[in-house]
Amino acid sequence: MAYFSLSILFEAFEAKTKISRKAYEHRIVLVQFPAKPDKATLIEYCKQHLTEEPYQTTDGSLDFWQVSKIIDCFELVEEVPENIHTPLEVYSRYFADDFNSTREEILEKYFSDYVYEDQEND
């Protein structure tokens, strides 16, 4: 099994209406796969392992964070001396100054050089 770093853009949604809150967070998550995963495997992994329960915000609404875009996936190391429980979040950045931006605006501003290309619109 090899370790991979997933660079992911999360988007906040209002739980009841499923409407975007236009709030975004970039996370880097350490994961393990036998080989570099394809797009379908990454999407399924995110659905199974990177979902969160809704939580109550200060304005009383219930929100949840969801994977909005897989920015990159790259192999880190092939072997680690100790078994690390994955997925393991190793970095997180909330884009507080970009509230009400679209996902495309966030991607263009912060990830204009991202290498993981999708084959279809998502």
Q: How do 62-77 and 2-14 pair as beta strands?
A: antiparallel
At residue 83, the pLDDT reads 79
DSSP for 67-117, written as a single string:
EEEEEEEEEEES--SSPPPSSEEEEEEE-GGGTT--HHHHHHHH-TT----
pLDDT digit string (tens) for 50-62?
A: 988 999 999 899 9
Provide the residue type at 80 as one letter. V
Domain membership of residue 79 as a residue range: 2-96
Band of residue 98 on the pLDDT scale cut at 50, 70, 90: confident
Q: Is residue 53 situated within a structural domain?
A: yes
Residue 16 and residue 83 in contact, taking contact as beta carbons nearer than 8 Å: no
**Coil, helix or strand at residue 122:** coil
Look up residue 98 and give its two tokens.
């970009």
Span 48-91, pLDDT tens digits = 999 889 999 998 999 999 999 999 998 986 667 777 888 999 99
> Is residue 111 assigned to a domain?
no
CA dihedral (33, 34, 37, 41) positive or negative: negative
Is the residue at 108 inside a domain? no
Q: Is residue 121 part of a domain?
A: no
Q: How far apart are CA 56 and CA 77, in angstroms?
A: 38
Residue 73 domain flag: yes
Query: Whole-model pTM?
Result: 0.84
Question: Is 16 a member of any domain?
Answer: yes
Number of structural domains (the chain) is 1
pLDDT the model gives residue 115: 57
pLDDT tens digits for range 2-46: 899 999 999 999 999 999 999 999 999 999 999 999 989 999 999
Q: In the structure encoding, which two tokens stand for residue 112, read together? A: 């204009």
- Is the pLDDT at 117 greater than 70, yes or no? no
